[in-house]
Amino acid sequence: MSRFCVAGSLNIDLVTRTKRFPKQGETVQGESFSTFTGGKGANQAVALSKLGAETVMTGKLGNDIYAAQYMEYFRKLGISTEGITREETSTGIAVITVDENGENSIIIIPGANGRVDAAYIKEKKELIAKADFLLLQLEIPMEAVLEAARTAKAAGTEIIFDPAPAGNVPSELLKLVDIITPNETEAEALTGIRPDDEAGFAAAGKALTSKGVRTAVMKAGSRGAYIYEKGRLAHVAGFKVNTVDTTAAGDTFNAGLAYALGEGMELAGAVRFANAAAAISTTKHGAQDGMPSIDEVQNLLGF
Ligand code: RIB
C-alpha cells in the first residue's frame, strides 16, 4: 500500500452562502453561515484518508479552540498528526462566500500556517522521506514548500504540486516537481497563457514542461482535465453531477490523482479517477463533507 504525506495548510473555513456575490460597495443578504474544517493541505489529507490511504500531514495549528478540534478530527479519520505542531497564534482562517451556482471566493488569514518554515520541514523530513507521494500546495511559506520538495526529491518521493492559490513560483520548485496540477487561472499565472481551449491547454502544458515539470495535469472544472506529457496533450472528460459547492474540488482532485497513481493506475486512468472524486466532492456543502469514499468513486466510474 502506498504512503502519502501532505505538507501544507490547515484552516477553519467560515462560509457564507448567498444567491450572488455582492458587487464592490454593495450589501446583499446571505442565506446561511457555517463553520467547516478546511485548508488546501488538510483538504488533500482528508480526501486521501477518506479514500482509504495511509496519510500523514505536516503543518501547524494555532492555540485556539479550533486547533484541538482539528487534532481530534484527524485522529478520528486515522490521519497521522505526528507532523502537526501548535503555535502561539491563531489557526489559519478562510473567509469563504459561495453563490447559488456553487462558485466561491476566498480570503485567507494564514495564522499558524504562516509559521511553517524550512527549519520546521527539516525537523519533519522523515515523514516526507518515508512517503511514496508528497502533496504540496501554496498556503504555507514558499521556503517550506521548497524544502519539502528538495527533501522529497532526495528521497525519491514522487511530488504532486498544486500551485494554488495562484502566484509566483520559483523555477527551482518547478524543476523538482513530478506532476503539477493547475487550474486555468493558476496555469495562466505560471505561463502567461490562458488555457480556454485545446490549443491553449497544449500551449500552457508545453510552457509548464519546458520549465522543468515532468507532467502537467491541468484541471478544467466540469470539463475534466487535460494531460500534457512528452509533448502530447490528452483530454480526460469530467462527470456531470448535481453541484452545490465547488470548494475543495481541486484538493479532492489532487488526492484522487495521488491515490490512484499509488494504486498503480496509469496516468489517464488516474486522472479519470480524480475527476470522479472531485465531482462527487461538489455535491455537498463544505470543503471536506462531500469528499468520497473509494466505493462512491468506483460507483461513479461504473466499476
Ligand atoms: O481549496 C479550498 C480551500 O481553500 C478551503 O478549504 C479554504 O480553507 C482555502 O484554503
pLDDT tens digits, residue range 212-266? 999 999 999 989 999 999 999 999 999 999 999 999 999 999 999 999 999 999 9
Q: Which pLDDT tens digit goes with each residue over 61-106? A: 999 999 999 999 999 999 999 999 999 999 999 999 999 988 889 9
Rounded Cα–Cα distance for residues 190 and 85 (Å): 31
Paired strand residues for 218: 226
Contacts (Cβ under 8 Å, ≥6 apart) of 30: 16, 17, 18, 97
Higher pLDDT, 168 or 198: 198
Distance, CA 92 to ligand 1 centroid (Å)?
10
Give 123 Cα–ligand 1 centroid separation in angstroms. 26
Question: Which grid cell is 19?
Answer: 444567491
Q: Which residues does ligand 1 sit against, CB inside 6 Å?
A: 9, 11, 13, 38-40, 43, 94, 106, 108, 139, 247-248, 250-251, 287
Residue 117 appears among annotated catalytic residues: no
- Contact of 278 with 43, CB cutoff 8 Å: no
Catalytic residue from among 245, 251, 289, 295 = 251
pTM given for the model? 0.95
Domains of the chain listed by start with CATH number:
3-9+39-90+113-301 (3.40.1190.20)
The whole-angstrom separation of Cα 12 and Cα 272 is 30
Distance CA 174, CA 234 (A): 21
Is residue 303 pLDDT above 90, yes or no?
Answer: no
The Cα 29–Cα 192 span in angstroms is: 37
Closest CA to 13 of 104, 134, 116: 104
Ligand 1 atom index nearest CA of 287: 6
Cell numbers representing residue 239 in the block: 462527470
- Give the strand pairing for 80-86 and 3-7: unpaired
DSSP string, 133-157: EEEE-SSS-HHHHHHHHHHHHHHT-
**Ligand 1 atom 6, closest CA:** 38
199 alpha carbon – ligand 1 mean position (Å):
30
